[in-house]
Amino acid sequence: MGAFAVELAPRAAHDLEGLSSDVSRRIETRLLELEEHPFPRGDTIKRLQGTDPAAYRFRVGDYRAIFRILGRVVRILRVVHRSDLERAIQDLV
């Protein structure tokens, strides 16, 4: 078990259910890596501007997972295609 717990918001779970099994499995695998390192090196994670409290996006291929870190919990808020990212961010603000 990692230093952080990863939990899916109901909307993020619904987003994952709508994806193909191959894509959702790949995303879930990468999201579980956040248990050990919520800020891995590289360009896959970026802070989203204009969100309070701070929100981040995690890139997995053509999909983006939007999440917040609340204490020792990484809460996945949404999983969207990159073309829908701006609309998903606006829904959070």
pLDDT one-digit tens code per residue, 46-61? 888 888 788 999 888 9
- Per DSSP, 82 falls in state G
CA dihedral 6, 29, 49, 11 (to 10 degrees): -60
pLDDT one-digit tens code per residue, 22-44? 999 999 898 888 888 877 777 77
- The full set of domains in the chain, from first to last, is 5-92 (3.30.2310.20)
